[in-house]
Amino acid sequence: MDFALTEEQTAIFDMAHAFGQEHIAPHAREWEAQGTIPKELWPQLAELGFGGLYVSEQAGGSGLSRLDATLVFEALSMACPSVAAFLSIHNMCARMLDSFASDEMKARILPKALTMETVLSYCLTEPGSGSDAAALKTRAEKTNEGFKLNGTKAFISGGGYSDAYVVMCRTGEDGPKGISTLYVEDGTPGLSFGGLEDKMGWKSQPTRQVQFDDCTVPHDMLVGEEGQGFKYAMAGLDGGRLNISACSLGAAQTALNMTLQYMSERKAFGKSIDQFQALQFRLADMEIELQAARTFLRQAAWKLDTKAPDATKFCAMAKKFVTEAGSKTVDQCLQLHGGYGYLADYGIEKLVRDLRVHQILEGTNEIMRLITARHMLAN
């Protein structure tokens, strides 16, 4: 078993890391204060091929593996996990379109998505359906003019900011089989947005409810087939769970690096605090946990790339383990900074806030345990 990255994979990581440190890290706190990410950033990322990381090369994407993609998100989240996670959402949508949209629709929509002239948001969650996603109520009735869409989506990253929304909605019976996917462009009559959510973390990502009131969506904006939308939505989640895990990993690694530097400079009782054995043990525990998390994440990505039968189980297990390891690490790093860790100037408290939501989205960690147990019992 070879655990080494290839030269190409190392180059991918280094390219993403260099871009993040130059173009994202210096502005992360400013963008958080402003509550938005400059739209000009996305075409710059797209020039590196990051607008369609695992969109097929035939469709104009980068055609990277899921393992390759985790390297991109780990590297970018070392600059800002909020920005990196938003890019993950766009890529999940682009992959859905590449996998399930008609050739005509792809030719019409994908080129601008890949250059990130069109930024995409994913609309599944509703005020009354989170973990029970198949219970969604947003409904689209088929008419001569198109689909008449009514309902509300909640916690949408990019709500009122993105250029188009990939929307899961009910076109048929209750349950998963009655769900379809529509592509709704910004400016469509009947599309509106709630107020900006005031969140604990991910503050640079504008988050709003997305509302549909007799929103007429043309027939040719149906993604794939009617009644297949829930399957499409779920197909992207394994990769999404790996990406959000990679965002936790990269941010936690940054926090640990910053903590090592701080402890080498901070003096107490006549010596730097990295010379106290009790604190060295804490550092060792964090390093061990992060290295285990990195190995687990890359194994799960490899299983997804090779279409292993237990890939979904491993993606769920990795998501649970890595996101909790990331949050635990940044919290410990804050503690080791003492009072300074609580100050915004040191950057640690932002990482604590940003990473907390990773245990909730892309399926809560409770759902990750449920998926794992179901696979165990089925076997």
Residue-level pLDDT at 296: 98
The residue from 185, 324, 362, 366 that is catalytic is 362
Q: 44 with 76: CB under 8 angstroms?
A: no
DSSP calls for 139-207: EEEE-SSSEEEEEEEEEEETTTTSSEEEEEEESSSSSGGGEEEEEEETT-TTEEE-PPP--SS-TTS-E
Residue-level pLDDT at 379: 80
Residue-level pLDDT at 131: 84
The one-letter amino acid at 335: Q
CA distance 349 to 309: 39
Residue-level pLDDT at 1: 67
Q: Looking at residue 78, what DSSP letter applies?
A: T
Residue-level pLDDT at 130: 82
- Burial of residue 176 (number of CB atoms within 10 Å: 0-12, 13-18, 19+): middle
Is 141 tagged catalytic?
Answer: no
Q: 342 with 321: CB under 8 angstroms?
A: no
CA 201 from centroid of its chain's CA atoms:
14
Report mean pLDDT in 10-residue bins for the chain, 379 residues. 90 98 98 97 98 96 96 98 98 96 97 98 92 90 96 97 97 93 97 97 97 97 96 90 98 98 97 97 98 98 96 97 98 98 97 98 95 95
Distances (CA, A) of 283 to 113, 206, 274, 277, 349: 42, 35, 9, 10, 18
Q: 317 with 293: CB under 8 angstroms?
A: no
